[in-house]
Amino acid sequence: MSSFKQYYKLLLLYVVSIVTTKVLFYIYLQNEFSDLSWQSSIYAIFWGYKFDFAAAALLVFIASLFDFNKKIYTLVSTLFLVLIINIQIGDMLYFSEAGRHTGYEIFDVFVDAESLLLTAYSQHFWLALVALILSIAACVISFFRWKMAVATEFNRYYLPKKLILLVLSIFFIRGMSVQGIPLNPWQAGQLANNQQAILALNATYSVIFALTNKDKTIQQLHIPNINQNTIKQSLKVLYADKNTKIKTPILTSKPNIVMLFLESWSAKYMQSYGYQHPTTPYFDSILKHSIRPKVMVAGGHRTSEGMFAALSSMQNPLGKTIAKTPLQDSDYPSIVKDLSQAGYSSAFFQGTSKETSGVGSFAQSLGFIDSFGKRDIANSKYPNNNWGVQDYDLYQFALKKTQSMSSPFMIGINGATTHDLVVPEGFQQKHFSDDKDLNAMLNTYRFADFSLEYFMEKIKEKYPNTVFVLFADHTGSRISDNLENYFIPFAIYAPNILTAQYKDVVMSQRDIAPSLYDLIMGDYTKTKFSGKSIFRNDYYFADYFHNNILGWIEAEDIVEINVQTGDLSCFVLNKLQKQVVKCENKHDNLKNHALSFTHYYQNLLFNVKDK
């Protein structure tokens, strides 16, 4: 067998493996693609053949560098095949949680390897079993391939052959083109339908792209152009409602601030936002006595993304985080830093490891003085779940730490109970659904809510001059719609301090910092925050970004823009559900607002000076 024939056979094997697992991805997550016909889905899977060949060609060429020895060549090519299978199947697990392909998150694999494996085994057993069976099959196939493999001799033809294989590989890596640069994952968005774009891209290429760009500065995503005059006029309209009559700060007593980043709490599964079952009865009870909007839109789909939106009132890099990138070292506005300058002590607590997604160090870069994770918690009442300590034990730990903090203090808490499907033994579960995993998920909400009640009642008793800010860092799994993927709860609760108020508006997670600034510090309009205050403003807008779709909400009107094709879809919000409507002139205005805001704040994000 010639080295060229060997190259093409291995290339074909890798491509077939990628395409097969893409089909498996579609079958396993079929509910996510319910709007697509099977014909459209198959078309999308094969439309992404350039990504499939690009990923395969790179790995095949690397393997070919070892073909001077049959055993080494077979071992390397087998490892790559097993790697492809496990990346592709692992991506199914990640997508079911985050609603997007694995990319930069691959750098957290070794940090959270144990948690990831336990989650795969406990929540996706059959899929994990398929991965194991396919990996074994790959090894068996490779054993027979080893018998047929041919070692390339070191002679005068060796280097010319490798040069030809290199040129062939570059051809595939560049999308089967003799010009241009390697494919970028966002190019899958050239398919007008974003669900098809998801099926077109394979996780192996997405991961390879992330790994090969690890040491490069995070890149600003290209979006449709818009002229500077439109940007200026749009921003003027968006920020026109400045209420100068309000007297700030609203509270002069310098209350303690407790920010509760409710891990993965989705409004979709909470009775206060329309769900049929009482999954969070305590939260529902205090919501009635809180300052709250109709619903809030999260700024991302990871904890670090939610933190940045809430604390810095900034738009995240589209579809990414600044955590663990060079951008983290830039000097962004932060409500935590503002409160520190006003004399507040601060600490951040998380139920998972401090290294998970770099959240611990990121919290400190945003101004928290101390940061604690699961390894700092020695004594627990409940066994840990696959990711960390249960919320009850995290709250116990935070309560003890507040005793040594000077007043006033600001603490942020991000739990781990709802990061998993493990409900502690002894806690009575309720039957919400015949779907076993869904029922388990909803009962983790109940236990997290039970733990929340314990903690908040203790804080109220010990520190009556306290303002609670409750919101989810992001949503969880089992949500398919673009917008629903970002609907989260939000409430500012301070009994005997603040009067309850309901605003029939949709707010952004970016509005949290301005609201706290008005409440504690003074006039937020004098800051660099991009959001608005629930105490000051009447007109709000919110943005979200999901798989190449930029969404925008003003009042009840919604537009979604495919940032690769520029295609516009229009909706109206009815009982927190999107309803398709015909696009009109007002939707063109909303599109201009969305693109203007995003252009301005993405440019600002990528051009902030270092600390």
Which three-class secondary structure state does DSSP give residue 8? Answer: helix
Q: Comparing 69 with 506, which gets the higher pLDDT?
A: 506
Q: Which residue has the tokens 């600002």?
A: 604
Q: What is the pLDDT of residue 573?
A: 97
Q: Which residues contact 573 (CB under 8 A, 6 or more apart)?
A: 506, 553, 556, 557, 558, 579
pTM here is: 0.85
If you search the block for the tokens 């998801």, which residue do you land on?
Answer: 198
Task: Report which of residues 250 and 36 the model is more confident about.
Answer: 250
d(CA 25, CA 578): 26
Cα–Cα distance for residue pair 608/220, rounded to 1 Å: 13
pLDDT value, residue 150: 72
Number of Cβ atoms within 10 Å of the Cβ of 525? 18
Residue 209 — very low, low, confident or very high, per pLDDT cuts 50/70/90? confident
d(CA 273, CA 133): 42
- Chain centroid, CA 290 distance in Å: 28
Residue with the larger pLDDT of the pair 206 and 560: 560
Closest Cα partner for 141 from 14, 25, 24?
A: 14
Rg, Å, the chain Cα set: 26
CB atoms within 10 A of CB 89: 23
Please check whether residue 309 is in contact with residue 298, taking contact to mean a CB–CB distance below 8 angstroms: yes
pLDDT for res 374: 94
Q: Which of the pair, 329 or 223, is modelled with greater confidence?
A: 223
pLDDT of 93 strictly over 80: yes
Average pLDDT over all residues of the chain: 90
Q: pLDDT by residue (tens digit) across 22-40?
A: 999 999 888 878 778 888 8
138-142, 169-173, 265-269, 533-537: range with lowest mean pLDDT: 138-142
- The tens digit of pLDDT for each residue in 130-143 reads 888 988 988 887 77
Q: Are 313 and 522 in contact (CB under 8 A)?
A: no
Whether the Cβ atoms of residue 473 and residue 262 lie closer than 8 Å to each other: yes
The single-letter code of the amino acid at 451 is: S
Q: Read off the pLDDT of each residue in 199-222 and give the average, rounded to a whole number.
A: 81
Q: What is the pLDDT of residue 179?
A: 52
Q: From CA 208, how far away is CA 80, in angstroms rounded?
A: 12
Check residue 69 and give its pLDDT.
82
Q: Tell me, what amino acid is at 568?
A: L
The pair of three-digit structure tokens given for residue 223, joined into one six-digit string: 């979006």
pLDDT of amino acid 464: 96
DSSP class of residue 30 equals G
Q: Are 74 and 189 in contact (CB under 8 A)?
A: no
pLDDT of residue 421: 92
* d(C-alpha 460, C-alpha 308), whole Å: 27
- Residue 127 DSSP code: H
- Give the phi and the psi of residue 304 in degrees, each rounded to 5: -65, -35
What domains can you pick out in the chain, each with its CATH number?
3-212 (no CATH), 255-542 (3.40.720.10)
Cα separations in angstroms, 296 against 241, 471, 487, 490, 534 = 20, 8, 6, 6, 11
Residues 388-444 pLDDT 10s: 999 999 999 999 999 999 999 999 999 999 999 999 998 999 999 999 999 999 999
pLDDT in tens, 56-76: 999 999 998 888 888 888 889
Cα-based angle 225, 230, 234 (whole degrees, multiple of 5) = 115
